[in-house]
């Protein structure tokens, strides 16, 4: 049975709501739940589940890997909001974790989310899920470093790391879970590379920074449209039912918040 993005998102929400953290983190659980339940759209884990199903896999079997990607994403948001980084007091209309719980607790909560992500990724027989996530996390951190130090001359390179790495990992972890051989992965990975560029370009249009600050709204919008077109073209070249993923790409390109 074909499941659309909304159905897959419900799977993710249910899994995250019941996720048991390591007992050593009992004192941090409130902060961890607060960060995870911040109202995100779960785009990355939904993409992972859709890729798994398109490759004949079972979405439920991919949930730990998909959740691992979301935990890494959430860890990055908790740390990005800290005074030493972006110094944002609000996240999605409510106090950031460091405002709600204090800087030290927020820092530790981010660390814990990252460690829990790898505990989930390493629950599979293959180590490749964990390796995929590790490489993406390193890329994300490298991109964030370029951003905070002002090394943004090549915006595409920064966004490919800072945002694109985790989107690529959303595709990559699902391929390993679905046991897609390396020979069958290039077309999927080419698709995954477009997702981060699309997401970031739209973010810049909505926030008025990044591509918009450097090149203007029209150029940023054109960049987003081209990334969406390339993503659809990549999907068209894959011999599988990619209609759910095409729906996700269309929604990313059209989002207004």
Environment class of residue 31 by beta-carbon count within 10 Å: exposed (0-12), middle (13-18) or buried (19+)? buried
Say how many C-beta atoms besides its own lie within 10 A of residue 199's C-beta. Answer: 22
* Per-residue model confidence as pLDDT tens digits over 36-48: 998 789 999 999 9
The percentage of residues in the chain with a pLDDT greater than 90, rounded to a whole number, is 81
144-151: list long-range contacts, CB under 8 Å, 24+ apart.
Answer: 144/76, 144/80, 144/85, 148/85
User: DSSP letter at 37?
Assistant: T
- The answer to whether 36 and 227 are in contact (CB under 8 A) is no
d(CA 238, CA 202): 25
- Helices within 81-179 (DSSP H only): 97-101, 103-121, 128-148, 155-162, 164-177
- What number is the average pLDDT over the span 139-156? 90
Query: What is residue 223's predicted lDDT score, i.e. its pLDDT?
Result: 87
* Per-residue model confidence as pLDDT tens digits over 223-256: 899 999 999 999 999 999 999 999 999 999 988 6
- The answer to whether 159 and 137 are in contact (CB under 8 A) is no
User: What would the two tokens of residue 26 be?
Assistant: 């009992």
* Per-residue model confidence as pLDDT tens digits over 167-177: 999 999 999 99
Query: What is residue 1's predicted lDDT score, i.e. its pLDDT?
Result: 63
- pLDDT tier, 31 (very low <50, low <70, confident <90, very high otherwise): very high
The 3-state DSSP class for residue 73 equals: helix
- The answer to whether 192 and 167 are in contact (CB under 8 A) is yes
d(CA 96, CA 106): 9
The beta strand positions in the chain, using DSSP E, are 90-91, 94-95
Phi, psi of 85 (to 5 degrees): -110, -105
* Per-residue model confidence as pLDDT tens digits over 102-134: 999 999 999 999 999 999 999 999 999 999 999
Give yes or no for residue 257 having a pLDDT over 70: no
d(CA 135, CA 126): 16
């Amino acid at each position: 049975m074909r499941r659309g993005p909304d159905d897959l998102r419900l799977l993710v929400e249910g899994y995250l709501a019941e996720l048991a953290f390591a007992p050593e983190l009992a004192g941090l659980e409130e902060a961890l739940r607060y960060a995870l339940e911040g109202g995100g759209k779960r785009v990355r884990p939904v993409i992972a589940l859709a890729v798994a199903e398109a490759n004949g896999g079972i979405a439920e079997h991919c949930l730990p890997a998909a959740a691992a990607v979301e935990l890494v994403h959430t860890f990055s948001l908790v740390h990005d909001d800290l005074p030493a980084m972006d110094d944002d007091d609000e996240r999605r209309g409510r106090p950031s974790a460091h405002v709600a719980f204090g800087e030290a607790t927020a820092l530790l909560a981010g660390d814990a989310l990252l460690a829990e992500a790898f505990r989930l990724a390493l629950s599979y027989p293959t180590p490749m899920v964990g390796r995929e996530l590790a490489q993406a996390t390193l890329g994300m951190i490298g991109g964030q470093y370029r951003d905070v130090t002002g090394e943004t001359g090549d915006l595409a390179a920064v966004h490919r790391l800072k945002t694109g790495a985790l989107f690529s990992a959303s595709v990559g972890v699902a391929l390993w879970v679905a046991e897609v051989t390396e020979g069958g992965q290039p077309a999927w990975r080419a698709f995954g590379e477009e997702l981060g560029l699309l997401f970031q370009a739209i973010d810049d249009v909505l926030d008025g920074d990044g591509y918009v600050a450097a090149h203007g709204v029209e150029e940023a919008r054109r960049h987003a449209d081209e990334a969406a077109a390339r993503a659809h073209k990549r999907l068209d070249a894959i011999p599988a039912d990619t209609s759910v993923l095409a729906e996700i790409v269309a929604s990313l390109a059209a989002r207004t918040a």
